[in-house]
Amino acid sequence: MLNATAIYSGTTSVSRLYYNGSIIWPTETLRIKSKNNTTTGGFTVGASLSKDMTTATRPFNSAIIYPGTTAPPLVSAQRWSDWLGDIFDNWGWFYLYNPATNAYYSPILSPINAADGTITTQTFTAFSRTFTIKHGYPVQGIFKFDISVADSQTFQFGAYGDMGSDSATTNTNLTQAYTLSSNNLTLYYNRNQQTGSATELFYSYVIPYETSLNTAITYNKLSSGPGIHGGLFEVYSIYTVPVKYGVTIYFAKTNDVKNWVINDLQLVA
């Protein structure tokens, strides 16, 4: 049944088949994607921040985790300095990883630090593949990456760097159940917090396009030291599971914006 190309009820074609409230056919033609919202919609958004992304040579140390068998190369990459309020001490260094060739690529976003509500679309060629990256702040305090690829091979997205929480870090994996078009799904996300602080928090939300991947944790992460710059800095590394087609990632300052994120999601063919 799951490999069927068409299902009929009598002579009427059935577009979707449900079991216990979840879509079981078609399995991968419906994908979870952003609605591209650029308003609050009445939901909690992130805290006010300083848009301070810059480009520099990416650093590395042994506290970082990564998807490949070799470390990400020391090339030009981008990171945020602080976001205001000591959220980071240089964090980001964003990369794409190609499992088939154990290779990394660091897209250079442009423009950067644009106003809230401005989402830029860029196309990149990496690993002989074509990637489309939509990036920017849809609303206050939330940065979004929407990354898609023009084939059905897997890729991964990752980031790392030093956090402002230094050695007093509490890192927690969180979940939130939600429903899209009667399909039961789970939002998997992470909170990195300066222990005891009500403001120095950083949230990461990872949503693969493939509905089937949203039934187990969607990322790998590690919060550990010593930091890239030594001292009390704490490294926070995160990278997605291998995904096909695409993935949407949201990063938020201070506030848990899970309801805004869920409201920005839709199932599309």
pLDDT at site 150:
98
pLDDT at site 17:
66
pLDDT at site 42:
98
pLDDT at site 7:
66
Note if the bond before 208 is cis, omega within 30 degrees. no
Query: What is the DSSP annotation of the chain?
Result: -TT-S-EEETTEEES-EEETTEEEESSSSSEEEE----S-TTS--PPP----EEEEEPP--TT---SSSSPPPS-EEEEES-TTTTSEEEEEEEEEEETTTTEEE----SS-SPPTTEEEEEEEEETTEEEEEEEEEEETTEEEEEEEESSS--BEEEEEEEETTTT-EEEEEEEEEEEETTEEEEEEEEEEEETT-SS-EEEEEEEESBGGGTTS--EEEEEESS-TTSTT-EEEEEEEPPBSSEEEEEEEESS--HHHHHHTEEEE-
5 pLDDT tier (thresholds 50, 70, 90): very low
The residue that leads in pLDDT, 17 or 56, is 56
Query: Measured on CA atoms in the order 211, 215, 219, 220, is the torsion positive or negative?
Result: negative
Residue carrying structure tokens 């040579």: 57
Mean pLDDT of the region 151-163: 97
Residues 125/149, Cβ–Cβ less than 8 Å: no
Domain spans, the chain: 31-268
Model confidence over 183-219: pLDDT tens digits? 999 999 999 999 999 999 999 999 999 999 999 999 9
> Would you give the end-to-end CA distance of the chain in angstroms?
19
Model confidence over 24-61: pLDDT tens digits? 555 558 999 999 999 999 999 999 999 999 999 999 99
Beta bridge pairs of residue 266 = 33
Query: Measured on CA atoms in the order 140, 46, 55, 72, is the torsion positive or negative?
Result: negative
How far is the C-alpha of 10 from the C-alpha of 153, rounded, in Å? 37
Residues 240/158, Cβ–Cβ less than 8 Å: yes
Residue 189 CB-density burial (10 A; 0-12 exposed, 13-18 middle, 19+ buried): buried
pLDDT at site 1:
34
How far is the C-alpha of 147 from the C-alpha of 169, rounded, in Å? 29
How far is the C-alpha of 269 from the C-alpha of 267, rounded, in Å? 7
Residue carrying structure tokens 């002989």: 128
The residue that leads in pLDDT, 224 or 239, is 239
The structure tokens listed for 165 are 């929480």
- φ, ψ for residue 176 (rounded to 5)? -145, 120
Virtual CA dihedral for 220, 147, 92, 190, nearest 10 degrees? -40
